[in-house]
């Protein structure tokens, strides 16, 4: 029976289905990587032609051969294992294709470059294409979080510390917290991309000696051909730029994971304060028909759990030997590709979650009420502390809270039944004690500050915090 196993629209391998997105899987595919390496060779010939080193006919022949190249991926992988780098079999394959048309032009393939120039520059070219993919999903996510924060600026909910109920906050402030961390991570990532998108071109030992005194001229022309910056010097054994990018991805993915953790906990049925978007085959169970699983959060958390190990793997290989390392830069492609793809999956997963998130305002209020006021013990303590001192007030509220929980009584009723407190807590103070809107501190202002710091005020002038 035909199972429809082949789907040209889905380049993601099944084992990677919770590790990447379709666009990023296509970007880091074998064909895409080979093409990036061929693009380097074509640009190199063009740059050297512009510098008068390679004859124009040779550059044209190289470009035409690369355009129609149909290299055997399986054979390349096998030869890479023997050569120690994919650049050698790819350059060899391109040279043979050029030779069919012109033996003279074939002699100018890879002129003055070394294998690592090809592999590093190809990776950078892929990273250049990866950045707008990541940024598009992060932009979606930030817009959705700004909207959630504005819409729920005054929606009260339980604060939770050490997984226990705590004084109230607003969902708007919570969303603004997610937004702030993700925005900072995005800006950090943008800066690291800017620093990383530089050409690698140094020849055998990073001096471009094979090009004599024309090396820097060729490097600048090559960088222009590829649309990359020309660094001050080759970076064969200096991996700090890539390391900073990988680390920035780790931090950003951690921020996405924190958001996913919060939402998945708030989505537990016994909490029930938010819900991921639902749909056909989304979040179902193979055995429990009633379940609505937080699958978007699961994908983001899988990435947040996976990325730190890959970041550590990359960092562990930074101590490279002399001008060209052995066995360290050789391991970078899978690590960098894995980190970028996991970051991308976490971003797109949480963008989808945020865009379709359902917020149960009534349940948030009900969960506050279910505490019978004990979350306002701090408030009562601060009122009493003005009269009795903090230590004594703390002891009284600790005892009152225990009674409230043990006897299922409201905290204000327990306090009202303590005659020694009548002189210190008025009936009006007790009546207002458990009103969450009156114990938010500067939550409204903090929310607004957070969203402004993230680039906008989602309230759009509505509900502005005024200072007298």
Q: What is the pLDDT of residues 357-373, one digit of tens each?
A: 999 999 999 999 999 99
* Nearest one of 462, 368, 439, 457 to 176, comparing CA atoms: 457
Q: Mean pLDDT over residues 103-111, rounded?
A: 96
Identify the pLDDT of residue 279: 63
Q: Does residue 126 sit within a domain?
A: yes
For the chain, counts of helices (H) and of strands (E): 18, 4
pLDDT digits (tens, 9 = 90+) for 133-171: 999 999 999 999 999 999 999 999 999 999 999 999 999
Strand, helix or coil at 20? coil
> In terms of domains, do 64 and 182 share one?
no
Kindly state whether residue 440 falls inside one of the protein's structural domains: no
Q: Count how many residues are written for the chain.
A: 468
Cβ pair 169, 175 in contact under 8 A = no
8 A C-beta contact, residue 389 and residue 335: no
pLDDT tens sequence across 399-412: 999 999 999 999 99
Burial class (CB in 10 A: 0-12, 13-18, 19+), 278: exposed
Please indicate, yes or no, whether residues 270 and 415 belong to a single structural domain of this protein: no
Question: Does 378 share its domain with 243?
Answer: no
Q: Is 36 within 8 Å of 69 (Cβ atoms)?
A: no
Q: What pLDDT does 70 receive?
A: 87
What angle in degrees, to the nearest 10, is found between the helix axes of 443-453 and 171-196? 20
Residue 306 sits in a domain of what CATH number? 1.20.200.10
CATH of the domain at 21: 1.10.275.10
* Per-residue confidence band for 13, with pLDDT thresholds at 50, 70 and 90: confident
Provide the token pair at 341: 């793809």
DSSP 214-279: GHHHHHHHHHHHHT-B--SS--TT--HHHHHHHHHHHHHHHHHHHHHHHHHHHTSTTT-SEE---B
Q: Among the three residues 48, 74, 106, which one is the final residue of a domain in this structure?
A: 106
Q: End-to-end alpha-carbon separation of the chain, Å?
A: 75
* pLDDT confidence bin for 15, thresholds 50/70/90: confident
CB 283 within 8 A of CB 292: yes
Query: Cα separation of 312 and 185, whole Å?
Result: 18
Quick one: what percent of the chain has pLDDT higher than 90?
86
Annotation marks residue 149 as catalytic: no
Instruction: Assess whether 127 and 272 both reside in one domain.
Output: yes
Cα separation, 118 vs 205, in Å, equals 14
Contact 358, 148 (CB under 8 A): no
Which residues are CB-neighbours of 99 under 8 A, at least 6 positions away?
Answer: 105, 106
- The mean pLDDT of 56-61, rounded to a whole number, is 94
**83 contacts 54 by C-beta, under 8 angstroms:** no
Residues 126/32, Cβ–Cβ less than 8 Å: yes
| Residues 134 and 35 occupy one common structural domain | no
| Mean residue pLDDT across the chain | 92
CA dist 298 and 407 (Å) reads 39
- Residue 221, domain member (yes or no): no
Please check whether residue 66 is in contact with residue 44, taking contact to mean a CB–CB distance below 8 angstroms: no
Residue 46: pLDDT over 80: yes
285 is catalytic: yes
Q: How many CB atoms lie within 10 A of CB 26?
A: 17
Q: Are 160 and 271 in contact (CB under 8 A)?
A: no
Q: What is the mean pLDDT of residues 447-464?
A: 70
pLDDT of residue 5: 38
Shared domain check, 300 and 191: yes
* Per-residue DSSP letter, 110: T
pLDDT band at 281 (very low <50, low <70, confident <90, very high): low
52 with 91, same domain?
Answer: yes
- Looking at the fold, whether 303 and 429 belong to one and the same domain comes out as no
Cβ neighbours, 10 Å, residue 439: 18
Which residue range forms the structural domain that includes residue 383?
374-433
Burial bucket for residue 23 (CB in 10 Å: 0-12, 13-18, 19+): buried
Q: What percent of the chain has pLDDT over 70?
A: 92
Has residue 467 been placed in a domain? no
Q: Please give the Cα distance from 447 to 457 (Å, whole number).
A: 10
Per-residue pLDDT for 428 more than 80? yes
Q: Which of 333, 367, 401 is the last residue of a domain?
A: 367
Q: What confidence tier does 463 reach under pLDDT thresholds 50, 70, 90?
A: very low
In angstroms, what is the C-alpha Rg of the chain? 30
HSE, CB side, 13 Å, CA atoms: give it for residue 423: 3
- Active-site choice (13, 103, 233, 285): 285
Give the pLDDT score at 288.
38
Same domain (yes/no): 90, 49: yes
Summarised one tens digit per residue, pLDDT across range 161-220 is 999 999 999 999 999 999 999 999 999 999 999 999 999 999 999 999 999 999 999 999
**The predicted structure's pLDDT at residue 419:** 87
Active-site hit among 99, 147, 154, 324 = 324
pLDDT value for 9: 55
- pLDDT (0 to 100) of residue 466: 35
Count of domains observed in the chain: 3
Q: What is the pLDDT of residue 173?
A: 98
Shared domain for 157 and 254, answered yes or no, is: yes
pLDDT of residue 456: 66
Q: Are 415 and 421 in contact (CB under 8 A)?
A: yes
Is the predicted pLDDT of residue 30 greater than 90, yes or no?
A: yes
- Poorest-pLDDT segment among 5-19, 59-73, 290-304, 371-385: 5-19
pLDDT band at 308 (very low <50, low <70, confident <90, very high): very high
Q: Are residues 265 and 297 in the same domain?
A: yes
Distance CA 247, CA 253 (A): 10
pLDDT at 461: 39
In a shared domain, residues 280 and 338: yes
The token duo for 133 is: 């993919």
């Amino acid at each position: 029976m035909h199972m429809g196993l082949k789907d040209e629209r889905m380049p993601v391998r099944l084992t990677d289905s919770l590790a990447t997105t379709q666009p990023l899987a296509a970007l880091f595919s074998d064909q895409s990587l080979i093409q990036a390496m061929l693009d380097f060779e074509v640009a190199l010939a063009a740059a050297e032609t512009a510098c008068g080193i390679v004859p124009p006919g040779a550059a044209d022949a190289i470009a035409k051969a690369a355009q129609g190249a149909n290299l055997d991926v399986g054979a390349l992988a096998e030869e890479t294992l023997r050569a120690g780098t994919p650049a050698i079999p790819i350059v060899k394959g391109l040279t043979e294709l050029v030779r069919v048309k012109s033996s003279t032009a074939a002699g100018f393939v890879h002129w003055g470059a070394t294998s690592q120039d090809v592999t590093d520059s190809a990776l950078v070219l892929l990273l250049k294409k990866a950045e707008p993919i990541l940024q598009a999903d992060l932009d979606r996510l930030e817009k959705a979080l700004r909207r959630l924060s504005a819409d729920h600026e005054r929606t009260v909910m339980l604060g939770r510390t050490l997984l226990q109920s705590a004084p109230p906050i607003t969902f708007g402030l919570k969303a603004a917290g997610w937004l702030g961390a993700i925005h900072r991570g995005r800006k950090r990532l943008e800066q690291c991309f800017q620093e990383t998108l530089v050409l690698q071109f140094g020849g055998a030992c990073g001096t471009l000696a094979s090009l004599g005194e024309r090396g820097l001229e060729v490097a600048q022309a090559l960088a222009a051909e590829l649309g990359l910056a020309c660094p001050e010097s080759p970076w064969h054994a200096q991996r700090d730029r890539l390391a900073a990018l990988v680390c920035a991805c780790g931090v950003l993915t951690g921020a996405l994971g924190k958001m996913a953790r919060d939402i998945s906990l708030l989505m537990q049925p016994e909490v029930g304060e938010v819900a991921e978007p639902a749909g056909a085959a989304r979040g179902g169970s193979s055995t429990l028909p009633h379940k609505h699983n937080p699958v978007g959060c699961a994908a983001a958390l899988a990435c947040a759990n996976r990325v730190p190990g890959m970041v550590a793997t990359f960092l562990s290989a930074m101590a490279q030997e002399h001008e060209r390392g052995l066995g360290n830069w050789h391991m970078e492609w899978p690590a960098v590709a894995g980190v970028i793809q996991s970051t991308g999956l976490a971003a797109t997963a949480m963008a989808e979650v945020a865009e379709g998130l359902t917020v149960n305002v009534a349940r948030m209020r009900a969960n506050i009420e279910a505490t019978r006021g004990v979350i306002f013990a701090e408030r009562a303590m601060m009122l009493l502390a003005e009269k009795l001192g903090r230590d004594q007030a703390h002891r009284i509220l600790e005892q009152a809270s225990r009674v409230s929980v043990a006897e299922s009584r409201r905290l204000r009723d327990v306090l009202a039944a303590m005659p020694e407190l009548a002189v210190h807590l008025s009936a009006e103070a007790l009546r207002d004690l458990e009103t969450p809107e009156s114990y938010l501190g500067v939550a409204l202002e903090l929310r607004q500050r957070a969203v402004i710091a993230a680039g906008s005020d989602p309230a759009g002038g509505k509900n502005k915090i005024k200072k007298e």
